Amino acid sequence: MTLLAIRDLYLHYRSGDRVVHAVDGVSLTIENKGEAVGIVGESGSGKTSMATALMRMLPRNVARFDGSILLDGQELTILSDDDFRRQIRWKKIAMVFQGSMSILNPVLRIGFQVAEPLLAGGEVSKREALQRAESLLERVGLPAGIAQRYPHELSGGQKQRVVIATALIMNPDLLILDEPTSALDVSVQAQIMNLLKDLKEDPGISMIFITHDIGLASDLCDHIAVAYAGQHAEFGSAERVLLDPHHPYTNLLLRSLPRLHETEPPQAMPGQPPDLTRPPAGCRFHPRCPWAFEVCFSEAPPEYPMADGGHARCFLNDAAVSGDRFQAHLRHWAESRV
């Protein structure tokens, strides 16, 4: 059965007398256990907002929150806050927050911090909770005895492992990771990525992996969603999105990456990210898109379905609208494949 199906999710914030369209019609599916979906995109594209909507950990200034979130066939949006907290948050869906390494409590022993959600639930004894914390700490690759230590005695990579263990303590089916390695060195990052690969396989945790680095997403994710201005400009299998992108933004994102063994410098992304209180009319990407044509300025492209089950929100995929531009751009894309 489909693990997670998000349909037409909206999350808007009030900001003064304006509305921030942080999540503005997002759909996303995770079919299987142990599958990882990457959400990549620039700062401010609404990645964290979508995650907080899934965790229902919303700020007070929410202006709009609706859509459908099916987890294992259960509609989550109709649950009361109490039921959501009792049944879903941490138990079914857990999250490693952006920058959470730095919010470990400095005066609590590691083992206790990891066990805390279990203790708060009050369903197991303290002894049992601590035991489970210790075995999880071992599972995420930390040396024995770390449960007795304090956060300041740990390296950055070790702290991130602790945070991951904390998220796993209630045996969730879905783990959301928001930029879990962005404060770490590449070598430590690689160690954490290997750990996440292990957890995907055994016990088969499904993941939503949020990052601004599409290269890093390819290290873990079976599917990739490319977030732009509160929507997903493109979604599909990692193979399709990385090797055969059908949205100009994805294409430019790939070309803005530095490549180790290429002598051509990366190309900076043109323009600035849009102001989400006033998303551009027409295609949201049109002000920055080198390939924009008439219709892009006035009409919003729908999600054109792709053969891999994904989609791309770009008129170039509609030969009836874009005419021979379509072929030209496909050729261009083909030439700039990774």
Partner 1 sequence: MLVEVTGGHVVFSTRKGVFRSGQVYALNGVELTIRRGETVALVGESGSGKTTLGRLTLRLVEPSQGKVFFDGKEITHASESELRPFRQRAQIVFQDPFSSLNPYMSVRELIEEPLIIDGEGSSQERRSRVDAALEAVDLLPASRFAAKYPNQMSGGQRQRVGIARALVRDPDYIVTDEPVSMIDASSRIEILALLDRLQRERRMAFLFITHDIATARYFADRIAVMYAGTIVEEAPAGAVIDTPMHPYTQALIAAVPEPDPANRFKRRPVVPGEPGSADGRVVGCPFYNRCPHRMTGVCDTITPPLAEWESGHRTACHLYDSRYATLEPQSGSPLVRTDLQYSPMNGR
Binding site for partner 1 (CB under 8 A): 36, 42-43, 138-143, 155-158, 179, 182-191, 193-195, 197-198, 212-222, 237-239, 242-243, 253-254, 256-261, 263, 265-269, 272, 338
Among 13, 97, 228, 315, the residue binding ligand ATP under the rule CB under 6 A is: 13
Among 15, 135, 194, 267, the residue binding ligand ATP under the rule CB under 6 A is: 15
Contact 214, 40 (CB under 8 A): yes
Long-range pairs for 129-136: beta carbons < 8 A, 24 or more residues apart = 132/169, 133/165, 133/169, 136/165, 136/168, 136/169
48 binds Mg ion (CB under 5 A): yes
59 binds ligand ATP (CB under 6 A): yes
- Which is closer to ligand ATP, CB of 34 or CB of 156? 156
155 binds ligand ATP (CB under 6 A): no
181 binds ligand ATP (CB under 6 A): no
Place of tokens 């035991």: 131
187 binds ligand ATP (CB under 6 A): no
46 binds ligand ATP (CB under 6 A): yes
Angle at 292 between CA 290 and CA 297, to 5 degrees: 135
Taking CB under 6 A as the binding criterion, the range among 36-44, 87-95, 244-252, 315-323 that sits at the site for ligand ATP is: 36-44
C-alpha to C-alpha distance for 108 and 112, rounded to whole angstroms? 7
Least distance from partner 1 to the Cβ atom of residue 259, Å: 6
Chain positions 93 to 152 lying near ligand ATP, rule: CB under 6 A, are: 98
Least distance from ligand ATP to the Cβ atom of residue 285, Å: 15
183 binds, among Mg ion, partner 1, ligand ATP, none (CB under 5 to 8 A by kind): partner 1
20 binds, among Mg ion, partner 1, ligand ATP, none (CB under 5 to 8 A by kind): ligand ATP
Least distance from partner 1 to the Cβ atom of residue 328, Å: 24
Tokens of 21: 């369209």
Contact 75, 68 (CB under 8 A): yes
Contact 240, 69 (CB under 8 A): no
- Which is closer to partner 1, CB of 82 or CB of 264? 264
- The total of other beta-carbon atoms located within 10 Å of residue 27's CB is 17
C-alpha to C-alpha distance for 198 and 87, rounded to whole angstroms? 26
Q: In the β-sheet with 62-71, what is the strand arrangement from edge to edge?
A: 18-30, 4-15, 62-71, 74-75
Nearest alpha-carbon partner for 51 in 17, 120, 4: 4
Beta-bridge mates of residue 66: 10
Taking CB under 5 A as the binding criterion, the range among 96-104, 125-133, 217-225, 292-300 that sits at the site for Mg ion is: 96-104
Strands 206-211 and 174-178: parallel
User: Which residue stretches of 202-336 are H helix?
Assistant: 214-217, 238-243, 248-255, 294-298, 319-322, 325-335
Going by the DSSP 8-state scheme, the letter that residue 19 receives in this structure is E
Least distance from Mg ion to the Cβ atom of residue 49, Å: 8
Taking CB under 6 A as the binding criterion, the range among 12-20, 141-149, 264-272, 328-336 that sits at the site for ligand ATP is: 12-20
Can you give the binding site for ligand ATP, defined by CB under 6 A?
Answer: 13, 15, 20, 22, 41, 43-49, 59, 61, 98, 212, 276
Can you give the binding site for Mg ion, defined by CB under 5 A?
Answer: 48, 98
